[in-house]
Structure formats: structure tokens, C-alpha cells
Amino acid sequence: MSATSIPDPAAPLRREWRRFTPAQRLSRWLVWLVVVAALAWAVRSIDIIPEFLADAPEQMADLLVRMWPPDLAHYYPAVHAALIETLHIATLGTILAFALAVPVALLAARNVCPLRPLNVLAQFILVASRSVNSLVWALIFVAIFGPGAAAGTFAIAFRSVGFVGKLLSEALEETAPGPAEALRAAGAPWGAVMLKGFWPQVQPAFWGVALFRWDINVRESAVLGLVGAGGIGVVLDDAINYFQWDRVATVLLAILAVVVVAEVVVTRIRARLI
């Protein structure tokens, strides 16, 4: 009867195991609290205008009716030429981005460049590049080069440097140290260690990143024309400004087609490569 009140003599000997310490449990709980609070705050700060929300379905239906049927005759030559220009912007921008990103990635990788201040500087460059949206880069380069494809190419390149450089420096840091050590032990100079020790290990990542970024850049360069940086966005902007919604539909379909084709091509090449 009173068995429950008798303290278990073996209690001090019983060992307990928990996944987390009390401090860890508390901090995990706090993280969840912060996440929920941030979500609630974000929802409250979006201003939803009730009148606009109310007739949103009507507006959308109206827009679709105006777009249909698409003015396919408009495709050639105006949209076609702009589309080709978009592809040129994406391709040249990606190549330029790699030319800029490779040296920065080498400086950012701690196993390649042992100087901490240079690592930090390179990482800062990469973050700075990524923190600016490509539309903002485009506005800057339109101011420098004037409107046109040159501004678009540079905008694409500068936005891509951060992305490409970060992924390349991570690929460099994930390489096995053994092969490079063996080459160093054989008296190979720095360039040879890079070429034969590091490059074969990062090669799949390099081409994977190149294709993926090109794929992203095709999509990004489609909107750069909205700020005058060349490509198909210019045609899209014009059509919207003149309320030629059937032409807008043609442009949107052309962009969709290019993105789908790019996706298929990139997936095929990646499968061959890796």
C-alpha cells in the first residue's frame, strides 16, 4: 500500500539518456518561438487592400480574355530577334561571370588560400554580388552603358558571380586533401597542384554549376528588358505599355518555350556529365 511512498533505492544508480541537454532543449524551443513570432509578424505587415482582393478574380479573367488569342504573327521578327538577344545575354553573362568568379572562389576557399583576411574579403565580394538583385544590377549598368544588351550582360554576370563563386569555393573546400598533398610531396608547383590535384575533383561541380546558372540566367535575362537592359523584356514592356495583351501572351509563351527547352537540354547534358 505504502509501496509508492518508499523511495526507490536503486534510483540514484539508474542512468538516464536524453538526446538533448536541458540548455539545448530550451534553445530549440526558443528557436521555434522566434519562427512562429516572425511568421505572425510577417502576415500582419502585408497590407491587403480589400477592394482589390474582392475583384481580383474578375480582373484576372478580363486579362486572360484580352490575351486570347495570342498574336502569333507578332512573333517573327520582333519577338524572335529579342529572344535570340536574350539567349546571347544569358550565355555571355554566364561566361563573364565564371571569368570573374573563379579567382574569387580560389581566394574564398580556405584550403586553397590560407590567408584568413583574403578569405573574408572574397566571401564579402561574393555576398555583395548576391545581395543585389539582377534588376538592380541592370539599372546600374544601364546608367553606365546606356540601355541595351551590354548592360544586360554585365547585370547577369555580376549577379551570377556570387552564386557561382560560392558554389565553386564550397566545391573546392570539399575536395579530398590527400591527392593535393601527394602532388605537393612530389615537388609539384602550385599551378600543377591546382590543375591535377584540385581541378579533377571540382570538375563535375564546375560544369554542373555552369549549366544550372546558364539555365537561371536565361530566365533572369527575360525580365531585364523591363529596365531597358535589352532582350525579350523590352518587347514585353512595350506590349504591356501599349495594352497589346495578345502580344504580351505571345511573349510569355515564347519565354515559357525557351525555359522548357533550356531545362530539357540542361538536364540531358548534366546526366551525361556527372
Partner 1 sequence: MSAAAQRGLEIRGLVKEYQPGKPVLRGLDLDVAAEGITAVIGPSGTGKSTLIRCINRLVEPTAGEIRLHGQALTGLRGRALRLARRRIGMVFQEYNLVERLSVMENVLCGRLGYTPLWRAWLRRYPPADIERAFDLLDAVGLSEHAPRRADALSGGQRQRVGIARALMQGPDLLLADEPTSSLDPKTAVEVLELLVRLTGAARVPVILNIHNVELARRFAQRIIGMAGGVIVFDGPPEALEPGHLRLIYGGEDWL
Which stretches of the chain bind partner 1, using CB under 8 A?
176, 178-179, 181-189, 191-193, 195-197, 200-201, 203
Residue 111 Cβ vs partner 1, minimum distance, rounded to whole Å: 14
Rounded distance, CA 178 to CA 218, Å?
38
Cis peptide leading into residue 103 (ω within 30°): no
Between 121 and 188, whose beta carbon lies closer to partner 1? 188
Residue 98 Cβ vs partner 1, minimum distance, rounded to whole Å: 18
Between 59 and 111, whose beta carbon lies closer to partner 1? 111
What is the sign of the dihedral through the CA atoms of 121, 166, 215 and 272?
Answer: positive
Between 50 and 178, whose beta carbon lies closer to partner 1? 178
Residue 202 Cβ vs partner 1, minimum distance, rounded to whole Å: 10
Between 84 and 195, whose beta carbon lies closer to partner 1? 195
Residue 187 Cβ vs partner 1, minimum distance, rounded to whole Å: 3
Residue 185 Cβ vs partner 1, minimum distance, rounded to whole Å: 4
Between 83 and 193, whose beta carbon lies closer to partner 1? 193
Between 201 and 244, whose beta carbon lies closer to partner 1? 201
How many Cα neighbours within 13 Å face the side chain of 243?
Answer: 4
Between 171 and 193, whose beta carbon lies closer to partner 1? 193
Residue 197 Cβ vs partner 1, minimum distance, rounded to whole Å: 6
> Cβ distance 97 to 160 under 8 Å?
yes
Between 7 and 191, whose beta carbon lies closer to partner 1? 191
Residue 209 Cβ vs partner 1, minimum distance, rounded to whole Å: 17
Residue 175 Cβ vs partner 1, minimum distance, rounded to whole Å: 10
Phi-psi region of 68 (alpha: psi -120 to 50; beta: other; left: phi over 0): beta
Q: Using CA atoms in the order 39, 45, 49, 55, what is the torsion angle rounded to 10 degrees?
A: -20
